[in-house]
Structure 1
Amino acid sequence: MASPNRFEISEQTHGANFAMYNFHSHSWYEIFYLQSGQCTFYIQDKTYLMKKGDIAVIPPDILHKTAYLAEVNKRLCIEFSANYIQPVISMFGNETLDSRLFTVLHNSTENTAFLDSLILNMINEYKQRDYISPAFLNVYFQEFILRLMRGSIPLDGRTIDFNNSSNTMQLAVDYINENFQSRLTLSDIAERFHLNPSYFSKRFKTVIGTGFKEYINNLRITKSEKMLLETNKNITEIAFECGFENSNYYGDSFKQKNGVSPTEYRKLKGNIK
């Protein structure tokens, strides 16, 4: 079913010592819920020790990654577009949500039981997918967010012990995220932040976990996935609007990442075009 609204739920189980080595970000919001186990959660310049029942709420374009510590670790992710949380933002304001919600949260056993019940309801509606499901999902999700705000306690995080250039890398990523449609070269970005290109390249890969070119390609492809599902623009238009200089290179890069072409992806995900 084609929809301009992103709302996806996924569950995964990981063993001990599984780690997401690359920092990543995306253009939508994410809720990361550790249902069992223990993990280290890195977000921007802080790290948190998360245990069963802890939840991270991550705004768009914020770098994060995880490393799992227990023998069995189960996590649930909810990815959602801004319209799902806009009613809460309208009621409480961005400043309140930045301090109260957009962080890593600890939940009591009682609050976790409420949240688990709402998650089960959301999963059932997500799988059912009839014409009333979007409305139920919205209602359950709003209650989920409000219960997080009422019953959760922000966890204390400690600053990651990177050297000072990590802050520059975050600024570089912020700049790339805001200008991905433009022509971006390593030399230009390095010059912008007054760094030697070779040093910038090495430091970018160390801090972000992926190479400069790979990061930009993945970001552009992620942006294009959204356009494929939410617009009727043709493949060439999408390629150019996402910063690719030709549609053939875009198609090859997209297939390498997703295993299917942009056209096949659009059909598989339900876009009518």
Structure 2
Amino acid sequence: MRLHVEYEHEIPVNAFIWSPDTHITPLHHHASLEIGCCISGVGRFYFGSKQYEVAPGDLFIVNHTERHIACSDVHNPSTYLFLKFEPSLLLAENERLLLPFSIPSERFQNMIPASSGLSNDILPLMEKIWSEIGSRQEGYAMLVKGLLLQICARLLRYYSSELTPHDWGKLTESFLKFRLITAYIREHLHEPLQLSDLAETLQLSPSRVSRLFQDVVGRGFKEYLLLLRLADARRMLVRTDMTVTDICFASGFQSVSSFYRVFVQSEGLSPLAYRKKYSVNAIIENYDL
């Protein structure tokens, strides 16, 4: 079962306390990444055919492909603090931060036991994110992003030492290929790109390129391309005085009507309404001196 995740903040990160049922519910997966830490009680966590006994201080890493669910002990129910976030946050900084979430399931240990001591470093950072998102004070989105990057950098360091040099080398090789892919996309974002264009340019098979997208960002090529174009359009709307039509074609959309449709679906606002709300000029004009 695939779940759709909604974010209610300026930054695509959710933080929440969760207590699983005492019986196993259907396994699910989602495009978001997750980091969970058991803060009390005991239970089990299932990832496909893998299962882990859970105790306080155990950390769990959930990627965008593995089906998973947790359940609580009847007499001592488990409780977790979870972070759920978009892979694009890490990709925008350094694609290597996604490496721990991209290790093939058969070789991946989803649980980092409390005995490792890592939760002593990571849980306080998770709690700060939870607090910042809950209070939504000025600048909270920037603080949340910084804290999340610290957490993922620690996970990168941990898993790089846990895998064999051979397995880590194969994984990083895939990410180097994906770096070339994203560089090509950004250079040609305004053009009518096809998956076959990437495959031919990078001398990879279309199936290999498609698989890289799923492995690294948990999305297909077309969905990822749309997200990039929408991000580019949002940037131009708030930072330039270009017309909406010019922005439409500059960000790679092929028609104004389709641009309006997908923009409203994504943002809940028309492009002009988005500009009015978020552009720097609009903020200055509306500021009461």
- Judge conservation of contact 1:16–1:68 (CA < 8 Å) in 2: no
Answering whether residue 133 of structure 2 is matched by residue 126 of structure 1, we say yes
Structure 2 partner of 1:34: 36
Runs of 5+ unmatched residues, structure 1: 1-5, 25-30, 41-48, 57-63, 86-93, 160-166
Amino acid at match of 2:190: Q
The match for 1:17 is: 27
Relative distance call for 1:177 and 1:117 in structure 2 (3 A) is same
Q: 1:236 aligns with which of 232, 239, 245?
A: 245
Q: Residues 131-173 of structure 1, C-alpha deviation per residue, up to 9 Å, x if partnerless?
A: 47578x379839x8289649962143869xxxxxxx9888656
For structure 2, the residue ranges without an aligned partner over 5 or more in a row are 1-9, 39-44, 72-79, 102-111, 169-175, 284-289
Q: Per-residue deviation at 1:120?
A: 2.1
Q: Note the C-alpha offset of 1:221.
A: 1.9
Counterpart contact for 1:107–1:151, Cα < 8 Å: no
Are 2:140 and 1:141 equivalent residues in the alignment?
no
Distance (Å, rounded) in 2 between the aligned partners of 1:190 and 1:134: 36
Measured against aligned partners, the alpha-carbon deviations of 1:197-253 in whole angstroms (never above 9, x if no partner) come to xx84x776676466654543343124334554x525453343233212343321122
More strand by share: 1
CA separation in 2, counterparts of 1:248 and 1:34? 41
Find the aligned partners of 1:169 and 1:134 in 2 and give their Cα distance.
27
Give SS of 2:191's match.
coil
| Percent of paired sites with the same residue | 20
The 1:112/1:181 distance shift into structure 2, 3 A limit, reads: same
CA distance in 2, matches of 1:114, 1:235: 46
CA distance in 1, matches of 2:182, 2:152: 33
CA deviations on 1:54-77 (whole Å, 9 max, x unpaired) are 458xxxxxxx73323224597413
Normalised by the length of structure 2, the TM-score is 0.50
For residues 148 and 112 of structure 1, do their structure 2 counterparts lie closer, same or farther at Cα, with a shift above 3 Å needed? Answer: farther
Identify the match of residue 112 of structure 1 among 119, 140, 163: 119
What does residue 253 of structure 1 align with? Answer: 262
Tell me, yes or no, if the aligned pair for 2:190 and 2:250 is still in contact at 8 Å. Answer: yes
Aligned length: 220
SS where residue 153 of structure 1 aligns? helix
| Bigger proportion of residues as helix | 2
Contact 2:229 2:252 (8 Å CA) reproduced = yes
Whole-Å separation in 1 of the counterparts to 2:66 and 2:152: 27
Q: Residue 70 and residue 171 in structure 1: after superposition, are their counterparts in 2 closer, same or farther (change >3 A)? A: same
Alignment deviations for residues 6-55 of structure 1 (CA, whole Å, 9 cap, x no partner):
755314779642123x7x9xxxxxx7423364548xxxxxxxx9x95145
8 Å contact from structure 2 (residues 132, 140) kept in 1: yes
Q: Aligned in 2, Cα 1:240/1:119: closer, same or farther, shift over 3 Å?
A: same
Q: 2:198 & 2:145 partners in 1: Cα distance?
A: 44
Alpha-carbon shift at residue 115 of structure 1 (Å)? 2.5
CA contact (8 A) 2:35 2:84 kept: yes
Bigger relative contact order, structure 1 or 2 (CA pairs below 8 A, ≥6 apart): 1
CA spacing shift, 1:252–1:34, aligned 2, 3 Å: same
Q: Distance in 2 between matches of 1:11 and 1:149?
A: 19
Local SS of the residue matching 2:59: coil
- What root-mean-square deviation, in Å, do the aligned CA atoms of Structure 1 and Structure 2 show? 5.4
Instruction: Read off the aligned partner of 1:69 and give its amino acid letter.
Output: H
CA distance in 1, matches of 2:268, 2:89: 24
